[in-house]
């Protein structure tokens, strides 16, 4: 079983580094130092349920999520590791489908899966399949993006409709039966981010996954000492997502996304950033939704001009969203 | 809950890189290029059951295992990521104990845990706790260890008693009730490996974890095109491990170790390597157990001189051994 899986991975993820067949991948440092002066290194475990969903699957998610966590630092993502925890009896057909999806996504994102591990656990010790990926990228010398760079007056931009991933999974899990328009936005964002490196005044990027835009706004506020004020009327929402929120009394700003950035940019960079984002298919609905302020509060300004505190949700709205 | 855990990790693993609080750790490349010319990158998921055992716990194992997979390439292990998958309701006290153990082990091994992720899954979706670690190290320019370097006539050395980890877990899981002497050998091997870098004629190192020494011998044979012949009488075994094997009809060579190397070294390097290993507490029982041959078979030579094929076990003897 272990050997079958190893051979499946070696075939699907085929690249010279993986083919070394040692206990570790070995990559020359010299080409990295030509691309930048810092390594970026990140990891996430993916435990999403269901493992297949409109717009993606756990394998695509495991590549995109880690690639995006690298790319938001300005890094060029280069190498991924992957660790599979598989429940005994898991469908071989589904495993092939997921591994093929990972390989395809990695190729599109320009990263190589260079090392991996598989553990099969007895039935009942894990639910179907969990995937961990860790990623390495290189940050170009001139780039210094980070939440601590944000200043009062900076514009807050999102790159498209919010909450699509969270609403899609919620619809499946709670069997709400809404079919139309609901699809995860799961995507690797590197190609959309790359042109931003040439623009002066980009302060910080994060992808709004678990915890949604709300979590990112709070992280930005905490790291920068600034407040954030967001215009409710400016939030781009698909009508199906808006519908789910109204029916269930939920806040789309708290929903997970898997292909949307929240950017903070200097006011003089706003138009150049929007133009660059609009030039990419994944960013064509990018829009400014608010700004950083001198206060320390995170606030949502309603349609009639009154504003309220935008708190972090006390409970995770849904486990196994990613 | 997520925030409590994040704060536990930040406190326990405290280091400047982790403290950046971005979605990725960022490490300057310049110091790495002074240490060598290649990155080593590896990952493993740890699903061991039970999570506490004589000689270690899942946290210590998750650090040592990945550190060792880096160190056997000759690399200096530098940075680890960690991903936790925690079953809802898991004891907070046990989590603190495990995280503290990881922090202590990382400090002893000279690595920094610089990035991490936590997922809490509903009760029954995972059994207690799984940990993934990925690791980055730098391989010194002059080192080129690897299984493909092995040549006929090379000596095969192990660094101490075999099967201690596997026998310890088997004893616990099967409630064999043997207490004396049984303790996992779980340890970070970097300090024992470092002096070997100065010795000419070291061909390959691997740590004999899942699949035991048998698996490594087959990997060596496959990568080098050489055969392997091992002397049964030379195998260092604790009497408790020997006893378990005799009672259950099992082969200690197939048992997992978590702190033992299998080395292939040129004949002229044998004594220098043994001397260097004996100088370290973890290697004081190092001994030559056989050699690489011109045939392609992996054979075990018995006490009376006859030899038999040493096959890979058809089934994993025990799931969740690491």
Q: What are the distances in angstroms from CA B205 to CA B72, B147, B243? A: 5, 8, 28
Position A26 scores a pLDDT of: 96
Q: What is the pLDDT of chain A when averaged over all its residues?
A: 94
Residue A233 lies in a domain: yes
Residues 106-135 of B with CB under 8 A from A: 114-117, 119-122, 124-127, 130, 132, 134
Q: Which of A263-277, A306-320, B109-123, B284-298 has the weakest average pLDDT?
A: A306-320
Considering only the beta carbons, identify the residue of B24, B114, B130 that sits closest to A69.
B24
Tokens of B255: 């048992």
Position B221 scores a pLDDT of: 97
Last-in-domain residue among B85, B104, B139: B139
Q: Residue A228: helix, strand or coil by DSSP? A: strand
CB-CB neighbors (< 8 A) of A27 in chain B: 38-39, 41
H-run or E-run covering B72: none
Residue B315 lies in a domain: no
Percent of chain A at pLDDT exceeding 70: 98
Last-in-domain residue among B139, B173, B192: B139
Position B219 scores a pLDDT of: 95
Contact B178, B243 (CB under 8 A): yes
- Cβ-Cβ contacts under 8 Å for A141 (sequence gap 6 or more): A36, A37
> Which residues share a beta bridge with A27?
B39
Residues B151 and B249 in one domain: yes
Q: Residue A290: helix, strand or coil by DSSP? A: strand
CB-CB neighbors (< 8 A) of A47 in chain B: 85, 119, 121, 125-126
Tokens of B249: 């009809």
> How far apart are the CA of B71 and the nearest CA of chain A, in angstroms?
9
Q: How far apart are CA B178 and CA B180, in angstroms?
A: 6
Contact A78, A138 (CB under 8 A): yes
Find, in chain B, the residue whose alpha carbon is nearest to that of A34: B29
- Burial class of residue A315 (count of CB atoms within 10 Å of its CB; 0-12, 13-18, 19+): exposed
Residues A206 and A91 in one domain: no
Contact B78, B137 (CB under 8 A): yes
Residues B135 and B259 in one domain: no
In this structure, what CATH number is given to the domain that contains residue A7?
3.30.1330.10
The dihedrals phi and psi of B26, each to the nearest 5 degrees, come to -130, 120
Q: Residue A287: helix, strand or coil by DSSP? A: strand
- Cβ-Cβ contacts under 8 Å for A292 (sequence gap 6 or more): A150, A151, A152, A153, A154, A155, A156, A220, A224, A226, A227, A228, A264
The answer, yes or no, to whether the previous bond of B8 is cis (omega within 30 of 0) is: no
Position A16 scores a pLDDT of: 85
Q: How far apart are CA A79 and CA A138, in angstroms?
A: 10
Contact B73 A24 (CB under 8 A): yes
Residues B152 and B299 in one domain: yes
Position A31 scores a pLDDT of: 96
Residues B135 and B151 in one domain: no
Position A174 scores a pLDDT of: 85
H-run or E-run covering A141: none
- Cβ-Cβ contacts under 8 Å for B305 (sequence gap 6 or more): none
Residues B159 and B302 in one domain: yes
Half-sphere exposure of residue B18: CA atoms within 13 angstroms, side-chain side = 22
Find, in chain A, the residue whose alpha carbon is nearest to that of B127: A125
Residue B322 lies in a domain: no
Residues B166 and B122 in one domain: no
Residue A318 lies in a domain: no
Residue B318 lies in a domain: no
Contact B22, A222 (CB under 8 A): no
Q: What are the distances in angstroms from CA B305 to CA A145, A198, B237, B242, B301? A: 67, 72, 19, 20, 6
Residue A320 lies in a domain: no
Going by pLDDT thresholds of 50, 70 and 90, the confidence category of residue A177 is: confident
Residues B156 and B10 in one domain: no
Going by pLDDT thresholds of 50, 70 and 90, the confidence category of residue A319 is: confident
Residue A180 lies in a domain: yes
Position A247 scores a pLDDT of: 86
- Burial class of residue A281 (count of CB atoms within 10 Å of its CB; 0-12, 13-18, 19+): exposed
Contact B116 A70 (CB under 8 A): no
CB-CB neighbors (< 8 A) of B124 in chain A: 124, 127
Q: How far apart are CA A47 and CA A128, in angstroms?
A: 9
Tokens of A108: 């599109």
In this structure, what CATH number is given to the domain that contains residue B216?
3.90.650.10
Position B1 scores a pLDDT of: 66
- Model confidence pLDDT, tens digit, residues A79-124: 999 999 999 999 999 999 999 999 999 999 999 999 999 999 999 9
Residues B6 and B135 in one domain: yes
Residues B123 and B258 in one domain: no
Residues A55 and A109 in one domain: yes
Position A305 scores a pLDDT of: 84
Residues A123 and A158 in one domain: no
| Interchain CB contact of B32 with A (< 8 Å) | yes
Contact A68, A110 (CB under 8 A): no
pLDDT tens-digit profile, chain B (322 residues) = 667 777 889 899 988 888 777 889 999 999 999 999 999 999 999 999 999 999 999 999 999 999 999 999 999 999 999 999 999 999 999 999 999 999 999 999 999 999 999 999 999 999 999 999 999 999 999 999 999 999 999 999 999 999 999 999 999 998 888 777 799 999 999 999 999 999 999 999 999 999 999 999 999 999 999 999 999 999 999 999 999 988 888 999 999 999 999 999 999 999 999 999 999 999 999 999 999 999 999 999 998 889 999 998 876 668 899 9
Residues 58-97 of B with CB under 8 A from A: 69-70, 72-73, 75, 79, 81-85, 88
Position B303 scores a pLDDT of: 85
Going by pLDDT thresholds of 50, 70 and 90, the confidence category of residue A17 is: confident
CB-CB neighbors (< 8 A) of B25 in chain A: 40-42
Position B300 scores a pLDDT of: 97
Q: How far apart are CA B195 and CA B178, in angstroms?
A: 36
Total count of domains within chain A: 2
Contact A263, A156 (CB under 8 A): yes
Tokens of B271: 């004594």
Q: For residue B118, what are the domain limits?
A: 2-139
- Model confidence pLDDT, tens digit, residues A202-255: 999 999 999 999 999 999 999 999 999 999 999 999 999 999 988 888 899 999
Position A2 scores a pLDDT of: 67
A19 has pLDDT over 80:
no
Tokens of B316: 């994993």
């Amino acid at each position: 079983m272990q050997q079958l899986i190893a051979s499946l991975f070696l075939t699907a993820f085929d690249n010279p580094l993986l083919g070394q067949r040692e206990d570790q991948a070995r990559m020359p440092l010299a080409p990295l130092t030509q691309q930048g002066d810092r390594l970026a290194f990140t990891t996430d475990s993916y435990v999403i349920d269901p493992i297949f969903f409109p717009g993606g699957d756990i394998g695509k998610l495991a590549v995109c999520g880690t690639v995006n966590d690298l790319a938001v630092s300005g890094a060029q993502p280069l190498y991924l590791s992957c660790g599979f925890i598989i429940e005994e009896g898991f469908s071989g057909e589904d495993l092939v489908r997921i591994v093929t999806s990972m390989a395809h996504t990695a190729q599109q994102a320009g990263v190589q899966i260079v090392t991996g591990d598989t553990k099969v656990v007895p039935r009942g010790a894990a639910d179907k399949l969990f995937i961990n990926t860790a990623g390495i990228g290189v940050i170009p010398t001139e780039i210094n993006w980070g939440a601590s760079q944000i200043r009062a007056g900076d514009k807050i931009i999102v790159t498209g409709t919010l909450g699509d991933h969270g609403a899609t999974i919620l619809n499946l899990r709670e069997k709400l039966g809404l079919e139309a328009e609901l699809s995860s936005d799961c995507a690797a964002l590197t190609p959309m981010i790359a042109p931003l490196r040439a623009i002066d005044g980009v302060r910080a990027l994060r992808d709004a996954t678990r915890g949604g835009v709300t979590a990112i706004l709070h992280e930005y506020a905490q790291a920068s000492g600034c407040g954030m004020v967001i215009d409710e009327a400016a939030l781009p929402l698909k009508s199906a997502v808006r519908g789910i929120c109204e029916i269930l009394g939920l806040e789309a700003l708290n929903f997970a996304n898997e292909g949307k950035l929240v950017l903070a940019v200097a006011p003089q960079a706003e138009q150049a950033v929007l133009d660059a984002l609009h030039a990419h298919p994944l960013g064509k609905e990018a829009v400014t939704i608010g700004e950083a302020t001198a206060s320390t509060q995170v606030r949502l300004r309603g349609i009639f001009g009154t504003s309220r505190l935008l708190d972090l949700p006390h409970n995770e709205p849904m486990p196994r969203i990613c």
